[in-house]
Structure 1
Amino acid sequence: MKPRENLMVDLETMGMGSCAAIVAIGAVFFNPATGETGAAFYQAVDLSSSMSAGGTVNGETIKWWLCQSNEARATIAKKSLPLIDNVLRELHFWARENAQERMDCLKVWGKSANFVLRGAYERSQLTPFWHVGNDRDVHTIIDMGINLGVNVQNDLSIDQARDNALNCALYQVHHVANIWQKIIQHEE
């Protein structure tokens, strides 16, 4: 399995649910069997453009953001951030450039990020670059790991910084690979 067959995506949003306004996208190609990573993508997004494209915000999420580090808040509050539709096109182009030959084989992973990202593409009248049948959810594999006795909170040796979407995507890759390896060992 090559790192170009699986893509981990994490989103920073100002809302909840499938219509959440996206303020940053992080993505990294990876091999779930080894944890090897490939090309990475990160881009903050103009909040106003996300909202103009139908993205929603909610008070609890905004309050959560207000409690985050100055660096995290500053990243998404910069002036002159790109518009959501431009970032979605950029992500699509980047994925096509870095994926294996057939995009219809690309598996897109996330902690429920896929349906939010898909919704953003649709609201921007753009076609998502992956097949809906190739959605993969990190929550499911974490649950499998817990059932196998993997302590997902204490079993990681990487920096668990949560200050941007790319760091979170890398953190999730580590979770998936760690649990994937335990599942394979359990099968043997």
Structure 2
Amino acid sequence: MLRDTPLCDFGWAAPAFELPDAHGKLHRSADHLTSKGLLIAFICNHCPYVIAIAERLAADAQILQDEGIGVLAIMSNDYDSYPADAPDRMIAFAETHNFPFPYLIDADQSVARSYDAICTPDFFGLNGAGQLQYRGRLDDARMGDATNRTPELVNAMRDIAATGQGPQDQVASMGCSIKWR
């Protein structure tokens, strides 16, 4: 089912979490939150919206990381019912798209629920204090040609890194609903 993300709840305090990646290594959100912020992306392997943006997400995440902003991706889908999202497939998906960030497993879906994540992709841009400042889309290319795209997420995270605040005008991300257990 196609879903749009809700409007940004500016200043919402993002809950801390600890999740494993598909290799079993634990990652704490606090360890990736920098003074410039943290981007958390709820994604999965099988969603056509994620597949369409995966390479752009990887490239944009590398830009953000090079500028000192943390980046994490979380897969919260029920992978028993959607085996394309299983941990072993997450490894291959991340390698195929050259993800420069940890791709984490939210097996009990508690992190997605605590963030009120609703779709893939669903982006949460936090400032250095861990407060929500962005809940928009990656860019204006959607699933089409990205040649002349505006990198809205990168621009927003740069604003957040510089000022602690995200842009007031944000366009909702769009994608497949999270597959709940």
Same fold per superposition (TM over 0.5) = no
- Specify the structure having the higher radius of gyration (Cα): 1
More helix by share: 1
Normalising to structure 1: TM-score of the pair? 0.28
Q: Which structure is higher in RCO with an 8 Å CA cutoff and minimum separation 6?
A: 2
Normalising to structure 2: TM-score of the pair? 0.29
